[in-house]
Amino acid sequence: MYTTLNLSTSADSNLSDYQRLQELSHRSIKVSIIVVLGVVITLGNIAVLLVITSSVDGWSRNSRYLLLSLTAADSAFGLLVMPLNLWVSLLKDYTDGPDALCHVVAFCNATVYSTCMYTLATISLERYIAVFYPLQYTSMMTRRRTLLLIAFSWCFPPFLLLPISFPDGIIEVHFSTASLVCNPSYSSNVGYSLSLTCFIFFPCSIIMTYANLRVWCAAKRQRLKLRKYNCARRSRHNVASRVLVPVLAAYYTCWTPCMAAMIYNAVSGSSVPEWIEFVVVWLPTSNGFLNCIFYFWINRSFRRKFHLVLQRLALAVCPELANTLGCCSTSNTHFVSVIRDNNNSVHERSSSVSSTCTLLTLA
């Protein structure tokens, strides 16, 4: 009898040790993925900030303001969301219940996620107005209204998500060992959870889908006209399909699983499997890196300005290396200064002109 008890106790101990080792292995893999993702997002958005803080050919002042807002929201993924959750995962005892720190971290997570969606919707709206209302663009998208839209994108989400920050509020928050994130328990208040999707995800998705599809259809009609009346333009790249379609595809791929898991958790009261939860929770952060590709690196003017910024950094940081490579010769230095002066002296063009220059035949 005692032998049987000892064997069962030993088997349970071995099983618990194996489970503990497995959990530590999974946790190390998850931490590595989060760190790599955070570094990639941060470096990509730093490169973007180096460029759009100065003037870029073809980008109006309003476009730069909106893209700066998007870059700041994407940078918050790598500079705020990921460090806070990793810090909590190291400090927090997994056996503890909800605490004030976890509520604050969950509030920051939800705020950054929502701000990013609102900013993407604002950019789509601005481009829609620039393309379809070029003559009224200056009066419709003034500097003041653009800044108000940006302020709304950053201020409305914290106001809407404020109940998450209260430890004794209507939303319970627990640290999830599956996703290494302080997750709100949306099943504790189904009505509030569904209202979040109604005020955040669905409106932003409708605006983005409608605006981008309308612009894409207009560009397609123009492309067909060019093929009909000008055979030389048949080899021209379809810029609208190369930018607008990937933007929408990346948006829905990154955000839809997270919203679906949140609604499922709120309605059913149960959570999804461990690795599925980890993927759907952290997948939206990858949109912060994809935005750098679709909104910036595809743009030729942005790439040219980025190369110019790298030349300036090489001349400032390591002039000996630049001299060795022939980058700081008199002619090259004069060329760099001329480009810089031209960029700074050129008056900012209205985005309605730059956005509709390829859609003139629509009239």
Assigned domain for 4 exists: no
Residue 7 lies in a domain: no
Query: Which residue reads 């629509």 in tokens?
Result: 362
Asked if residue 14 belongs to a domain, the reply is: no
* Encoded tokens for 145: 């209204």
* pTM for the structure as a whole: 0.78
Mean pLDDT check: name the lowest of 56-65, 203-212, 319-328: 319-328
Total number of domains constituting the chain: 1
Q: Is residue 9 part of a domain?
A: no
Q: Could you tell me the two tokens for 96? A: 């503890």
> What's the pLDDT score for residue 14?
55
Q: Which of 51-60, 78-87, 269-278 has maximum average pLDDT? A: 78-87
Q: Which residue has the higher pLDDT, 193 or 50?
A: 50
> 105 lies in which domain range?
21-362
Report which secondary-structure segment, H or E, holds 184: strand 181-185
The residue ranking higher by pLDDT, 363 or 269, is 269
Residue 88 belongs to some domain of the structure: yes
Please check whether residue 108 lies inside any domain of the structure.
Answer: yes
- What's the CATH code of the domain at 298? 1.20.1070.10
Q: Is residue 16 assigned to a domain?
A: no
Q: Where are the alpha helices (DSSP H) in the chain?
A: 2-52, 61-76, 82-91, 100-132, 137-140, 143-160, 190-196, 202-229, 239-268, 274-292, 300-317, 319-324, 330-345, 351-356
Torsion angle of the four alpha carbons 21, 22, 28, 30, in this order, in degrees rounded to the nearest 10: -160
Q: Is residue 358 part of a domain?
A: yes
- The pLDDT > 90 percentage for the chain reads 18
Distances (CA, A) of 43 to 49, 56, 64, 301, 317: 10, 20, 19, 20, 19
Question: What percent of the chain clears pLDDT 70, i.e. is strictly above it?
Answer: 73
pLDDT digits (tens, 9 = 90+) for 232-259: 444 445 556 667 788 888 899 999 998 8
CA distances to 120, 264, 279, 284 from 178, rounded to whole Å, are 29, 16, 10, 16
Model pLDDT, residue 13: 57
Pick from 20-29, 51-60, 178-187, 288-297: least confident: 51-60
Greater pLDDT, 349 or 161: 161
Q: Any idea what the Cα angle at residue 197 is, between residues 191 and 198, rounded to 5°?
A: 85
